[in-house]
Structure 1
């Protein structure tokens, strides 16, 4: 049975498990409510049985849409951390930057879809039991392994910088401070892998980190070095300046007061819209 779709349409998927599944794969910052119920309710006409809920999503990692444009490369993948995942945005409101970008593409009559591959806390160079596989490893699955990818937006490195000197249960024993050169070499590895598949790469600068736990002058110096490389190296096919879109002109290390959520770090709805507006759609 075919199921027709239209741009920006919402889709609800119901899963039924006949037995115990064991540990579940999940997306912690789903920003959309998942409902749960005991028993088989696939044929229920009402949602009365679904008494449990969560803001995370489970098992389902994506939906592949076919159609007349399937054979074309018309997918943009946003690879990133919490600034891509949407931490700080209003739940159930589709206010991540990827949502705003998708809306702009639809309004511009550009037949391009946006896939959000953000993981809150994710790092470019370090895998973590809390924040997932490092970006240089998951790139193959989350970007190269998807059908029809034409462009990838790389928004990673903020946690490598902010947590560069951090310790704790979420960081493996191999986690050691890294230099700007090591971070940029990680970017180069992603760029080479994408170009080998004919995929365009858009680099995103690292957002202001003054609200990051443990923020210090050395964190800011490292962020400035990495952002300088992103803007000036010429390694990317295009650059989108998340930092400039969010930063307070009077205090560039801080986000604009009206663009930041209560935690002082992550964008709010207005901040995410500012990021979405910063894109040159032709670069995608």
Structure 2
């Protein structure tokens, strides 16, 4: 049974993971920490987190393990091999991968973990840097109900819309649905701003009118103002959105599903990346429309 005395091991403290971990610390949880660049986690260490020198060390000393890394290849390296989570976590450990990754990989992790009596959920999130800081993320989980029930108090610290979508892999599939919806929406937001400017309107004033109407969306209310302000700092990296859309497109193709909006958005974001915007926030797409 998990409790506030349970030690949470966190692997990955990027834009999202760092704020999520801080919220867990502020809620009273003890944190073990491992990330590739220790310096980026210094604030969390200063706040009481315990540094671990390897994934294996963290896995052996944590009751719950949360991973929030970059790409499916990073997930594989963290979970598998002699130094990975699967080989080193104690039986009964709860493991949650919150990386946006491949559904098939989530299922494979679940299967291998089950052989070791390790309880696994795939639970990617949505809500960007704002949601991570405010603890208001949407969390989309895949796995067993009893595992979800045990981990739910931890989820409630970092998110507010927390839903078990089905068996292993369902969380990843749901996140891909989320990214498909955002993909076309981002094009629409950029085109709308370009139109407002071209027609001589004050785009900020236009946003005041349309963000609360039928056009309303996170991208319109949160990212469009950043576009207008020339703020392209990453709440979510262009390179990671490209990764997510690529996984979504491949998954759709495997199911025989046509996604022209997703394909166009991926094409535009790749063009943006080629212009040197890989490490910018997704709102930098507006640069292609100026």
Question: Normalising by structure 2, what TM-score?
Answer: 0.26
- The structure that is helix-richer by fraction is 2
The structure with higher relative contact order (CA 8 Å, sep 6+) is: 1
TM-score, structure 1 as length reference: 0.26
